[in-house]
Structure 1
Amino acid sequence: MTQRNILAGDIGGSHFTLAQFEETLLGPELIRIERVAVDSTGSKDEILETWASMIKKMIQSENEVAIALAMPAPFDYDTGICLIQEQGKFLQLFGVNLKKELSLSLHIPESSFIFINDAQAFLLGEASFGKGKGYASLMGLTLGSGLGSSIKQGDEVRDAGLWQQSFKDGIAEDYLGTSWFVDYVKREFGIEIEGVKEMLVHPEISGRLDEIFDQYAQNLADFIVEQYDVFKMEKVILGGNITRASDWFLDKTLKSLRFLGILIPVEISDLGEKSAVYGAASVLFSKKKTSHF
């Protein structure tokens, strides 16, 4: 039985998912996992209190605490300082040392916290426990309020940072994140929406969804083609909230890729938000020979 409080979490623009693990002789075992909604446009104190409350709830003893948190970029993962400024989320956390703030709030050492890029954590989880098992070369893309990207080459999994890469008339995130849908719908229909979920049920848009997702699928296919020329990945795994609407765009994307001569599989994660949680946990257990969740 473990003598440590072992927690791993995924921080997103609308949620905080946190899991508790137990350290056994065979490796880590998932005990429980919970999700709470987070308003990333809220104040610093509101956001930190939500995170701290969830963490505190899962710390059940006075033993050593180890916490790995997957966090979106831009972020200084070594120091724990948030650098998010222009992504439309966590604006009140810019420049805040999250290790220090959470340490003070929870009365545990700053050294208890490890931060990892969320896209990197996503692909770490997929490579070990999801759709990426058995592949030497992978690309992970998380499609949500922003664009997360990661690459696996051999045993190395790293954040690719492609959200800010030049793409078409802007950067990749402009065409693959939620803002693309918001901007497209406003420009083409004169309707203001907050995101894809609202768009799918909007009575004035429902008849034009094929048109919208045709364009989004083409954007995604064009982006994958550009990255294939660089990385030659064997497979692309998609995650993030936008993939909940994958029935509208995945087949279209694959069709466009085939037309462009790219025949690699592009699949949606089965693990969902658990991918990043498992990936974050793997950092804590990286020295273990075996691990199973």
Structure 2
Amino acid sequence: MAITIGVDVGGSHISCGAVNNDNFSIIPGTYFSGAVDSKASMESIIKNWATIINQTIQAAQQVLNTSDAAIGIAFSMPGPFQYETGIAMFEGNDKYESLYKVSVSDELLKYLTAKKVSFRFLNDASCFGVGGTLQQKSEVSSRAIAITLGTGFGAAFLDNKLPVTQGDHVPHNGCLWDKLFKGSIADNYFSTRWFLNQYESITGDKLTDGVKEIAGIENYATATIFDDFANNLSEFLAPFIINFDADLLIIGGNIAKSHRFFLSKFQENLKSKNINLNISIIENTEQTSILGSSYLYNEVFWERLKEELPYF
């Protein structure tokens, strides 16, 4: 019996769990998460990752009553990264820079308690998108766009669950964060810092606890901010939705947890542009990314994906 483990690597954390491939769920008792200092040394980061992954390995071996099963570890990994080779290319982005040109799989093997291990990697936004499409209750979608709204703005375009990164119907690399919007880039409008900057600009008060804090205030200023956010998001996304002919939009990230303040306005704006599509709000982004990454060990899916793994 093989064990499949999904791993979600964030800028300040790592989470992982063993996945039941029969019902596409995290096996109870195998989910672990921990903080990571992304500015630490290479050895410190790898050891930290290994500690959390080892907890999942040992828990899965105990639950499944096996100690010698082959283990497949699939990573939901931010870029820049060589997803085919497993070599990190973090440089100039203020996180994990000590891993630059490091083979993550080679280094991790030094510290894992199991040795019959294989590794697969995919971009974190793509993993969230794959996991999000697989969690839909019915197979109503063939073309989906998944976005994560948090400290940054992630995106993935999916055709029958397969991430699409090139072609006339998707933006370059399937990314949206770096695309132009209102004289800047989209990441500056659809991230936590935009909310904090807007709140300070309107009220003169400086907040530090993110969108959740703004949502908890519920005054005229916050209502204005969420309306502006809905207007901006619909204006920005509309051309991409139309060009990709998407029938599903999946929204995750910490900002999605405050969807009751912007979703209705956002949907109204899309309808005014004659855009009608299903919208799925996913509040547990990390676990969805874990599930999505684990799907890399679905061999039919992997055969379709591996020839087109992005390099970014």
TM-score range, shorter chain: 0.7 to 0.9
Segments of structure 1 that go 5 or more residues without pairing to the other structure are 289-293
Instruction: Return the offset for 1:215.
Output: 1.3
Aligned residues: 282
Q: Against the structure 1 CA distance between its residues 103 and 186, is the aligned structure 2 distance closer, same or farther, given a 3 Å change threshold?
A: farther
> Percent identity among equivalent residues?
28
> Would the aligned equivalents of 1:220 and 1:253 in 2 still touch at CA under 8 Å?
yes
Say if 2:114 is the partner of 1:117.
no
Distance (whole Å) between structure 1 residues aligned to residue 92 and residue 227 of structure 2:
27
Distance (whole Å) between structure 2 residues aligned to residue 255 and residue 28 of structure 1:
33
Instruction: Return the offset for 1:70.
Output: 0.5
Distance (whole Å) between structure 1 residues aligned to residue 141 and residue 160 of structure 2:
8
TM-score (norm 1): 0.82
Partner residue in 1 for 2:244: 231
Aligned partner (choices 31, 34, 46) of residue 31 of structure 2: 34
Aligned partner (choices 198, 202, 210) of residue 195 of structure 1: 210
**After TM superposition, what 4+ stretches of structure 1 lie above 6 angstroms from structure 2?**
none
Partner residue in 1 for 2:262: 249
> Would the aligned equivalents of 1:131 and 1:237 in 2 still touch at CA under 8 Å?
no
Distance (whole Å) between structure 2 residues aligned to residue 59 and residue 271 of structure 1:
22
Q: Deviations over 1:72-102 (max 9, x none)?
A: 2222212223334455544554444322321
Q: Deviations over 1:218-271 (max 9, x none)?
A: 121112212123211112111111111111111121122222332223221266
Instruction: Return the offset for 1:153.
Output: 2.0
Distance (whole Å) between structure 1 residues aligned to residue 224 and residue 177 of structure 2:
24
Letter in 1 for 2:191: G
Distance (whole Å) between structure 2 residues aligned to residue 83 and residue 179 of structure 1:
25
TM-score (norm 2): 0.78
Letter in 2 for 1:165: K
Distance (whole Å) between structure 1 residues aligned to residue 101 and residue 188 of structure 2:
24
Pairing 1:133-144 to 2, within 5 Å after superposition: 133-144=139-150
Distance (whole Å) between structure 1 residues aligned to residue 284 and residue 77 of structure 2:
18
Instruction: Return the offset for 1:161.
Output: 1.7
Q: Against the structure 1 CA distance between its residues 89 and 199, is the aligned structure 2 distance closer, same or farther, given a 3 Å change threshold?
A: farther
Partner residue in 1 for 2:177: 163
Alpha-carbon RMSD across the aligned residues, in angstroms, is 2.9
- Greater fraction of residues in strand: 1
Distance (whole Å) between structure 2 residues aligned to residue 84 and residue 184 of structure 1:
30
Q: Against the structure 1 CA distance between its residues 84 and 245, is the aligned structure 2 distance closer, same or farther, given a 3 Å change threshold?
A: farther
Aligned partner (choices 50, 61, 71) of residue 77 of structure 2: 71
Partner residue in 2 for 1:291: none
Say if 2:163 is the partner of 1:148.
no
